Structure 1
Amino acid sequence: MIGKSTYKAAREVAQIAEDHFATQIEAAKKENGENLATIPPARIIEAMIDAAFWASLRREEGQSPKISLAFLPPEQSEQPLRFEHHLTLSPAVLTKIGPGVERPGIHLGVWYEGDYLHIWGMTRSIPDFCFVLDVSEPGLLVIKHRRRDGFGKFVNVVVLTGDQIKIVDEQSVHTPECPDLLYTLLGFDSHRIWNKSLNVLVQLAVSMRSHRKGGILLVVPSGSEAWRKSIRHPMRYAVGPAYSELAKLLLQQDDKDPLWQDEVKRAIEAMAGFTAVDGATIISDKYELYGFGAKIDRRAGSEPVEKLIMTEPVLGGGATIDQPALSGGTRHLSAAQFVHDQRDAIALVASQDGRFTIFSWSTCENMVQANRIDSLLL
């Protein structure tokens, strides 16, 4: 039964989430959008979060559940797996069924009849802007939705970690020199102007974070050799000529072809895997691999980085100017120095603890900016 939750954060974010989805879906309708989801009512959002949170703290055969709940009727899904009898949406049921739905892309379908929420089955297909609630680990929930064109990482709306609430700040895109990658992760794109190259960079970031070994990915201008002045030579795992599998796949772009999508994902996973090797992985902005395991050196004649701008695209995460050491460990310091010396490059840094930061150069502030984006990659 839909009632008041016992998880305080569920009550605090339910209306905020409803307002977000209502805004997105109504805007898409005005653009004659098709295959759009139903706006989730706040009371249902609250109940779904409450059940999922308490389920996340339980264990089944020693394992915590990792599940994804999608709010939609079976009629809005293609080839849904429907249960003969509806299941009650409760922590006990979610814990029991969890081991069977852990694989990526599988959602438990949730709908309601009157004041009763139920699980009607499973689906891989959901409409655009469908309310999705992911249980990533104990006490960690993410509210997200499918992108308008359906290709790429879902857009995060709210991240709940115990009693900590991070609401993604859509106004972050209006800050001076907002990195294109951050703009994309916040979901500010359309089918007409969607840049598949940026989408690939998002997928690389997600894959880098998922291997949990930490790493640095340096993206440098294609055709330029200037970056070599900031790398210690000889580079242990230099690639020559540049490896261009991913670059060639993008030139063959056919995002409606599942086989092409699978090939791109495989190539992305392979490239992100190189970042697990100690040192930096270096690619061009056309996704040609130049090498990995590289050691970053301060360019001859360059000054060390003394300060940078730190931001996080969540409410209350406004820009602050601080010492580079506060942005993270050795990887973060090296990446900040590289961007300071190679101002037309960007650096993506993943920490073993899940922290993820984009380093880029701000011409407005004339210093390195560090955008922490791990709350957008969950």
Structure 2
Amino acid sequence: MSRQSPYHAAREVAITVEKHFAHYLAMARLNKEKDLAPAPHAREIEAIINTAFWTSLGHEEGIYPKISMAFLPMEGAKDAVRFSEAILFSPGNLTKLAPGVERPGTHLGIWQEAGELYVWGICYDVPSLCLVVDVFQPGLLVLKYRRINGVGKFANIAVVQGDQVKIVDMNSTSFTDCPDLLTSLIDFTTFSQSRSLNILVQLAVSMREHGRGGILLIVPAGTQTWTDSVVHPLKYTIQPPFGGLSRLMQEKVTETKELYWKNAVAREIGIITGFTAVDGATLINDQYELLTFGAKIRRAGKDMVKQMMVSEPVVGNKITTVHPSTHGGTRHLAAAQFAYDRQDSMALVASQDGRFTVFVWSPSRQMVHAHRVDSLLL
């Protein structure tokens, strides 16, 4: 299936991903879910990863490709552009096609026939649990799938970067005090998401995308205790709190209005996360009302946070206990202090290098827990 030199990480990842799809497609069928993609086999997965990796290292007119590939037959796509003749699945052909399929939600349709992979067209809507492989940047691939019923961002299975492989740990949500955001991002054990959890994910993705770094603090609605944790006077207080996203979350959405609602939600999320690019922290409450931005975090009491747990939801990762100053820069230290002082709140931190961390208080461990989730947001 693949004519180029073998990419050695591909086989290891392919076996794991094959088992993943076999298990969860079986669960979906038992739940009588419809519109399911076919199960990919290890040989096909390995060939796709191998070709995608070598494609990521090529370029067209000095620009490296960003491309998304969905493994499904032509008849499995509802909305698609179909080529009159199939195109050989090769790095050269993918590099040529890449400029025309870079927009979000656009995938090259990949299928196999007589042991050969080919590109049959371009699709914009894929079935549930469909394998998607994204070429993110040179040497960086993300393997993911479309969630059941298409709610939220695609769920990541593995991130492959050079010789480093991160397999998402489907059991990482089983430990005590796991934040809802992490559960929503992994979404292995449930086949649907609430709107609220989906919004947390979209806020995280949008916040990371502007690339400037930032802090988003989420506090309980109807409380003012958070004001003890910021420097006064606040320069950009929103009065009354801006509730565009909050109002949308309370709407009853019919099927005919769903697309309009999703577009409106995306617009409001962009408004909120745009403020996280401003120096300082942006604050919203758990009803998604914007309270302020550009706020400077300060220690609320006498105690300074001295240690915290750090974990990443990937296979083989172990929870470690470190001093907050060893994990990132001033943003991370400030967020850890806020989570320590405001134990009913959550702090989301995006770094300019793409790292993303969720800080929450762990009642069972009586310590701040920093969850690194950037491998789930790609």
The equivalent residue for 1:287 is 288
Contact 1:280/1:294 (8 A) holds in 2: yes
Contact 1:255/1:261 (8 A) holds in 2: no
Rounded Cα–Cα distance in structure 2 between residues aligned with 1:12 and 1:188: 21
The equivalent residue for 2:6 is 6
Question: How far did residue 79 of structure 1 move?
Answer: 2.7
Question: How far did residue 3 of structure 1 move?
Answer: 6.7
Q: Does structure 1 residue 296 correspond to structure 2 residue 335?
A: no
Aligned residue for 1:247, secondary structure, equals helix
The one-letter amino acid paired with 2:247 is K
After TM superposition, the structure 1 stretch with the greater mean CA deviation from structure 2, 250-259 or 147-156, is 250-259
Question: How far did residue 356 of structure 1 move?
Answer: 0.2
Change in CA separation of 1:18 and 1:191 when aligned onto 2, cut-off 3 Å: closer
Change in CA separation of 1:255 and 1:351 when aligned onto 2, cut-off 3 Å: farther
**Structure 2 matches for 1:183-198, cutoff 5 A?**
183-188=183-188, 190=190, 194-198=193-197
Q: Does structure 1 residue 220 correspond to structure 2 residue 219?
A: yes
Rounded Cα–Cα distance in structure 1 between residues aligned with 2:365 and 2:140: 35
Rounded Cα–Cα distance in structure 1 between residues aligned with 2:252 and 2:46: 40
The equivalent residue for 1:311 is 311
**TM-score of the aligned structures, taking structure 2 as reference length:** 0.97
The one-letter amino acid paired with 2:239 is G
Question: How far did residue 5 of structure 1 move?
Answer: 5.9
Rounded Cα–Cα distance in structure 1 between residues aligned with 2:320 and 2:208: 24
Q: Alignment RMSD, CA only? A: 1.2
The equivalent residue for 1:27 is 27
Deviant stretches of 4+, over 6 Å = none
The equivalent residue for 1:157 is 157
Deviations 1:39-76 (A, max 9, x none): 00100000000101000001101100000000001111
The equivalent residue for 1:18 is 18
**Structure 2 matches for 1:107-256, cutoff 5 A?**
107-188=107-188, 190=190, 194-254=193-253, 256=255
Rounded Cα–Cα distance in structure 2 between residues aligned with 1:4 and 1:101: 23
Deviations 1:161-188 (A, max 9, x none): 0110000001101111111100010014
Question: How far did residue 103 of structure 1 move?
Answer: 0.2
Rounded Cα–Cα distance in structure 1 between residues aligned with 2:252 and 2:19: 35
Contact 1:2/1:115 (8 A) holds in 2: no
Rounded Cα–Cα distance in structure 1 between residues aligned with 2:254 and 2:214: 28
Question: How far did residue 190 of structure 1 move?
Answer: 3.8
**Structure 2 matches for 1:51-130, cutoff 5 A?**
51-130=51-130
**TM-score of the aligned structures, taking structure 1 as reference length:** 0.97
The equivalent residue for 1:46 is 46
Rounded Cα–Cα distance in structure 2 between residues aligned with 1:187 and 1:108: 25
Question: How far did residue 141 of structure 1 move?
Answer: 0.2
The equivalent residue for 1:334 is 334
Rounded Cα–Cα distance in structure 1 between residues aligned with 2:159 and 2:188: 18
Contact 1:327/1:370 (8 A) holds in 2: no
Deviations 1:240-266 (A, max 9, x none): 100000000011142741011100011
Question: How far did residue 294 of structure 1 move?
Answer: 0.4
Change in CA separation of 1:356 and 1:145 when aligned onto 2, cut-off 3 Å: same
Question: How far did residue 151 of structure 1 move?
Answer: 2.1
Change in CA separation of 1:305 and 1:269 when aligned onto 2, cut-off 3 Å: same
Question: How far did residue 189 of structure 1 move?
Answer: 5.8
Rounded Cα–Cα distance in structure 2 between residues aligned with 1:188 and 1:62: 39
Question: How far did residue 2 of structure 1 move?
Answer: 4.7
Deviations 1:297-319 (A, max 9, x none): 100x3300100000000012121
After TM superposition, the structure 1 stretch with the greater mean CA deviation from structure 2, 40-49 or 248-257, is 248-257
Aligned residue for 1:262, secondary structure, equals helix
Rounded Cα–Cα distance in structure 2 between residues aligned with 1:374 and 1:82: 34
The one-letter amino acid paired with 2:85 is H
Deviations 1:230-285 (A, max 9, x none): 01111111101000000000111427410111000111111111100000000000
After TM superposition, the structure 1 stretch with the greater mean CA deviation from structure 2, 121-130 or 246-255, is 246-255
Aligned residue for 1:149, secondary structure, equals helix
Rounded Cα–Cα distance in structure 1 between residues aligned with 2:315 and 2:268: 35
Contact 2:229/2:299 (8 A) holds in 1: yes
Rounded Cα–Cα distance in structure 2 between residues aligned with 1:92 and 1:365: 52
The equivalent residue for 2:372 is 372
Change in CA separation of 1:144 and 1:118 when aligned onto 2, cut-off 3 Å: same
- Where does the alignment leave 5 or more consecutive residues of structure 1 unmatched? none
- Where does the alignment leave 5 or more consecutive residues of structure 2 unmatched? none
The equivalent residue for 2:274 is 273
Contact 2:180/2:197 (8 A) holds in 1: yes
Contact 2:203/2:273 (8 A) holds in 1: yes
Aligned residue for 2:215, secondary structure, equals strand
Percent identity at matched positions? 51
The one-letter amino acid paired with 1:127 is P
Rounded Cα–Cα distance in structure 1 between residues aligned with 2:270 and 2:75: 34
